Structure 1
């Protein structure tokens, strides 16, 4: 049985809400699966181009704009946090390697000739 536009939009919204919950829990490993499922629902919805008007009505009824804005803001926020953590790791690694390099070169000067 073929799903209606309303069912597809509800399914899409549920996947989006699940993604929001996973982002809030920082369960990043599970997000990819939900994103794939969400994309499948979206692809199926896009295939129903003849029902565009109906889709727009249900989109507004289900407050999809707010849900999508929320997931987008949350994804940007988490991306920035992860990027910042990676930058800190990179800086720490560079500082550590510079420190080790400094210690190794200092040993040359402490040897008796």
Structure 2
């Protein structure tokens, strides 16, 4: 079954909106599958290369560019947040290891002479 360009773009838009919902709920486990689904839709759209002008008109009419920009912005913000959390974990682990090693050092002052 061959879908029209408008149907393909509509499913692409819905998929992108669903990705935004997943990002907002921070359900990153289901994100990969949705991204793969979106890529399949893009591949189907690319196979319709003879209708580029029609595709561009429908793309702009549906405001898909704005939705993609929002998804990209949310992804960047979530990535920065996760990087910040990982850095904090790393700093805390380093501090914990440093304080933990203080107790295990040689105790030269506790020996009786």
Where 2:107 maps in the other structure, the secondary structure is: helix
Residue 56 of structure 1 is matched in structure 2 by 56
Q: Quote the RMSD (CA, aligned, Å).
A: 1.1
Residue 112 of structure 1 is matched in structure 2 by 111
Q: TM-score, normalised by structure 2?
A: 0.94
- Counterpart check, 1:26 vs 2:23: no
Give the Cα separation in 2 of the matches to 1:35 and 1:20.
11
List aligned pairs for 1:1-113, cutoff 5 A. 1-105=1-105, 107-112=106-111
The number of aligned residues is 112
Where 2:2 maps in the other structure, the secondary structure is: coil
Can you give the 5+ residue segments of structure 1 that lack an aligned partner in the other structure?
none
Structure 1 stretches of 4+ moved >3 Å: none
